Structure 1
């Protein structure tokens, strides 16, 4: 059995590599082969070392497509324009029903689907050339997930589609116009959604979930710690520094959702 993992940056040595690098070790042992497709379009970035049975490829980035190419991809693909457009009209109905319809959300929904369709065309060819792939795992619950699901439903591929939900790809308030494109449609067809926190899990169940509860799973992130404590100082030095002091360390990104201010308020 082979796995296709779609990332934003991995195996390039930045971004989601911090989380995927330790996880890929487990995936490479669980599958005969792991295919990695990244959407990063950096020309000569530094790459991290890959396990022997992991193969990395590049997916075309949407900046390589102008509006004309996006529209042509709808009418000159094997995915059929009417079926693709039916997804859009369902999303349009959702926007109207939720009273979120405006110029910005409409534009967002159109380009989100057009770019997902372009990615779906690429994925269709990739899956045809690699028929042993049985699971498509998108590391972010966004456009690439929609692309994989378009392949699954339109092309009738016998694949499982699973995804992770983090922050910007989950919470409406983390996005412009308070809008998460096509979440309702994707929820209907995705096979598993893995959440990195209980808060995200509960939020999704309240906002988007319409499927059986077993589809939604909490699977926290983690990173390798190759160091033994202490890292930088000998034990005697650490003991002297902490004897009469409380040391609090946070590695969180300094953004509102991380609520770093609560550390200060708790002191």
Structure 2
């Protein structure tokens, strides 16, 4: 039997990981696909359906308690990581705590997988972690136990943003990188930018790194007009998304603008209060949290002049893929792999990571004031670049062909 075991954070429970359904709908080559949310919020219920052939496995995860930290210090992999940090002059209390918390999660997840999932000698298993973090480390332990039972196991992991860039973390540290690079068979960052970073980190295991783009569904071409000029942004309202800078840019506009934001978050009330101070030529709509289906329906039912993303860090935003699939031009910060989907002067405009509100306003004005032929060209190019590089149909077929040995990533 060929078995795919997908380790997620919470999908299909609760919120988040909305980009997984498009992939699972195109998964092929396996007799069974088990979807295992490893760290869902307490009490989370299933909110997303699974396609035929996929099964939800809820793991009976049991906390090891705080006393586990001392026992973890006796583990050879943890001791090796501490020795490495000390050798590099990187060991401190904060990183030690982060390492132990990471290792504790990995051990708990691995124990739950071992308790719950049964396989037989001779089975072929692909153990697939969606994030290059604690679930991937748990997968290493689980894979070892399966191999001892005579099971053939390949272990792969995707990587996105936080699990690639240690500098994005307060501690500047991602635990057990070398351990993961050594034990995993393949690591697939979602951008070429991420692949470059991981290869630099991986050293002798750099050959295991291969970019595998995510993709979005083809929902047709959207409506586009610029009178009034309609901006759409879609993000969780947290500091890294820097929506306050978009508000600062709109504060200086002297032309009619309709700005719609989809998404909620801890800064929602603060940003809404800021937006209420915008001049009367700016109409603001905060639509709150929406399902992915509702976001796609918005594109089908409303004209969008430009999609805006001004995050300080990204992988390749799936929100930009969705906008591009509808033929919507984009103004975005040149961070992470964003330049792999937004080509400056072709389907949108790129801003430096440390842009000013004035620079953002200038890009929006340029988009608004270009002639109709140029704007239509941006729309066509957005759709073209999406179709060539970020189509779910194309990308996931290639990905699962590779998982089944049909081609290499």
Same fold, judged at TM 0.5 (above): yes
Aligned-partner SS, 1:34 = strand
Q: Deviations over 1:125-162 (max 9, x none)?
A: 334x1334611100000001111112233663531110
Aligned to 1:19: 19
Gaps of 5+ in 2: 230-255, 257-303, 315-331, 334-350, 353-358, 364-409
1:223 aligns with 2:216: yes
Instruction: Summarize the Cα distance change of 1:145–1:44 in structure 2 as closer, same or farther, 3 Å threshold.
Output: closer
Aligned-partner SS, 1:164 = strand
1:52 aligns with 2:40: no
Match of 2:138 among 119, 122, 147: 147
Instruction: Summarize the Cα distance change of 1:61–1:32 in structure 2 as closer, same or farther, 3 Å threshold.
Output: same
Number of matched residues? 244
Instruction: Summarize the Cα distance change of 1:93–1:49 in structure 2 as closer, same or farther, 3 Å threshold.
Output: same
What is the 5 A alignment of 1:217-256? Answer: 217-230=210-223, 238=225, 247-250=305-308, 252=309, 255-256=311-312
Aligned to 2:187: 193
TM-score, normalised to structure 1's length?
A: 0.80
- The structure number with the bigger radius of gyration is 2
Aligned-partner SS, 2:205 = coil
Assess if the C-alpha contact under 8 Å between 1:41 and 1:60 holds in 2. no
Aligned-partner SS, 1:223 = coil
CA distance in 2, matches of 1:189, 1:54: 26
Assess if the C-alpha contact under 8 Å between 2:69 and 2:100 holds in 1. no
CA distance in 1, matches of 2:195, 2:361: 27
Aligned to 1:124: 114
CA distance in 2, matches of 1:203, 1:212: 10
What is the 5 A alignment of 1:105-124? Answer: 105-124=95-114
1:190 Cα shift?
0.2
Aligned to 2:198: 204
Assess if the C-alpha contact under 8 Å between 1:146 and 1:186 holds in 2. yes
1:31 aligns with 2:24: no
Instruction: Summarize the Cα distance change of 1:48–1:247 in structure 2 as closer, same or farther, 3 Å threshold.
Output: same
CA distance in 1, matches of 2:312, 2:192: 18
Superposition CA RMSD, Å: 3.0
Instruction: Summarize the Cα distance change of 1:226–1:210 in structure 2 as closer, same or farther, 3 Å threshold.
Output: same
CA distance in 2, matches of 1:154, 1:49: 30
Aligned to 1:2: 3
Aligned to 1:173: 167
1:248 Cα shift?
2.6
Q: Which runs of 4+ in 1 moved over 4 A?
A: 239-242
Assess if the C-alpha contact under 8 Å between 1:41 and 1:61 holds in 2. no
Aligned to 2:396: none
Instruction: Summarize the Cα distance change of 1:217–1:102 in structure 2 as closer, same or farther, 3 Å threshold.
Output: same
Aligned-partner SS, 1:159 = strand
